[in-house]
Structure 1
């Protein structure tokens, strides 16, 4: 079984979004090796001023988002009438499809916030489908204890580890994906099988990992090459997201909250939003 190696490492960079929320971002809108993922934002602060403004009502078209919280609460509301509170250890998935208008506002918990939002592309045939939303609290996230202080949490798709398949609660995504959170102390190992047709990335949010002698540190995203096996060792107490999915071999045109396949489609999305017909 071919073990995946490190193809490249990208460093997250500081930016802000919404009402001044400070985040660390890695994006790959023009990077085919990222597909089907588009962007990963890490939100981490113990200062309320860094995130208290949240993300007031805003539109999307052509993408899905997966938000996962380690610490802190976010309240979601959208034009469809959905209202959900994302709590510690939980996740929420939204498929914008043809259009959604939603807000994500923080609910204070001890002043701390640490979470992630992942943008996932939709294939052209699904970009104009009706919007959808589901949330998943911590108790339904699938977990497997690999060894003492070595835990994998599978949020989306299936992950095969040591002969066992761990199935996450999120299965109906626009393209097949596997998304998991690995938490371990120094010396912990993750050995798993990945779908060889999937592209895969690892985002280190705490500590450091080693793959075949190469190291990646907190705040770095590792793009892996092709293969079926994954073998990772934590060189420090570590937290890491695994993102794996079937690539979409289509043009990507991005403008703000809209991701489509052509400039004409972007202009139509802007027109629809300005005229109040984005969600019709």
Structure 2
């Protein structure tokens, strides 16, 4: 069976977004090896000053977000009237389509926050579709513990785990994207069959895998094409594993807008400024 191997290591960088929220970011807009994934942010702090300002109302077009919380609470509100709160272990999916204006705000009494936001590209044919939103509680997300102590949470997509087919609650993501949260004890390993049509990337947010070369913590790992992926933990390791079909289209990115041409970006800005964002 053709095994996947580490192909690229893309480091994360500290930055801030929203109302001064401190994050670590991996930007992938000019990284076709990670297609269809555009960006992943990690929010991690036990100091409310780092995150309490949240993300006040802002627009998006042409992409999807998937927000997953390990610890804390975030409330989503948007111009379509959607409102939802996710708590520790929950997830929110939003497909911006032709346009959405939303906010993501932490609970005021919260003292800790640990979560991730993933941006997934939309193919050109879907960029002007109506926006969509769904939140998923922690109890809806399947959890699997293997005999070697490896733990997995299946957030999106179908996966074959230990001979069983397990489907995450979010199964309508762009590019048939899949999403796992994995914890591997030191010295353990995990083998997963994978589709050769899908790109596989992993964000190691704690610990270190046995790779050549060794990838530092808080890095995104891009794997080669193959039918099988094996992860070996050098230390206690936690990571997000993402799979998705390559879209293979030009990406033009400006702030919260992700389109296929400069003209489309300019149109998005005009639509937003004219107050017709998200309309037909």
TM-score class, shorter-chain normalisation, is over 0.9
TM score, norm. by length of structure 2: 0.97
Do the aligned residues in 2 keep the contact of 1:18 with 1:56 (CA within 8 Å)? yes
**What's the CA shift for 1:148?**
5.0
Using the TM superposition, give the Cα deviation of residue 34 of structure 1 relative to its aligned residue in structure 2, in angstroms.
Answer: 1.1
Q: How does 1:209-228 map to 2 (within 5 A)?
A: 209-211=209-211, 213-228=212-227
State how 1:136-175 maps to structure 2 within 5 Å: 136-147=136-147, 149-175=149-175
Give distance in 2, aligned partners of 1:188 and 1:80.
46
Supply the RMSD in Å over aligned alpha carbons: 1.1
Unmatched runs of 5 consecutive residues or more in structure 1: none
Quote the residue 2:229 is aligned against.
230
Alignment of 1:18-97 (within 5 A): 18-97=18-97
Instruction: Tell whether the 8 Å contact from 1:207 to 1:239 is kept in structure 2 after alignment.
Output: yes
Deviation at 1:109, TM superposition (A): 6.0
Q: CA deviation digits over 1:78-98, x for unaligned, max 9?
A: 111111111101111000000
Of stretches 24-33 and 161-170 in structure 1, the one that deviates more from structure 2 is 161-170
Contact kept in structure 2, 1:73 and 1:109, CA below 8 Å: no
In the alignment, what sits opposite 1:201? 201
1:188, distance to aligned residue in structure 2 (A):
2.2
Q: CA deviation at 1:277?
A: 0.4
Q: SS of the residue aligned with 1:66?
A: strand
Corresponding residue for 1:274? Answer: 273
| Preserved contact between residue 196 and residue 228 of structure 1 (Cα < 8 Å) | yes
1:156/1:167 contact within 8 Å kept? yes
> Would you identify which runs of 4 or more consecutive aligned residues in structure 1 move more than 2 Å?
213-217
- Please say if residues 206 and 217 of structure 1, whose CA atoms lie closer than 8 Å, have aligned partners that are also in contact: no
Residue equivalent to 1:4: 4
Conserved? CA contact 2:196–2:226, under 8 Å:
yes
**CA apart distance, 1:20:** 0.4
Displacement of 1:261: 0.3
1:215, distance to aligned residue in structure 2 (A): 2.6
Measured in 1, the distance between the counterparts of 2:148 and 2:115 equals 24
In structure 1, distance between residues paired with 2:187 and 2:166: 22
Match of 1:245 in 2: 244
Structure 1 or 2: more strand by fraction: 1
Report matched runs for 1:96-115 at 5 Å. 96-108=96-108, 111-115=111-115
The answer to whether the Cα contact below 8 Å between 1:143 and 1:166 also exists between their aligned partners in 2 is no
Q: Which moved more, 1:127-136 or 1:140-149?
A: 140-149
Which secondary structure does the structure 1 equivalent of 2:270 belong to? Answer: helix
How far, CA to CA, are the matches of 1:185 and 1:214 in structure 2?
20
- Name the CA distance, whole Å, in 2 between partners of 1:70 and 1:125: 33
> What's the TM-score, normalizing by structure 1?
0.97
Q: Which moved more, 1:36-45 or 1:216-225?
A: 216-225
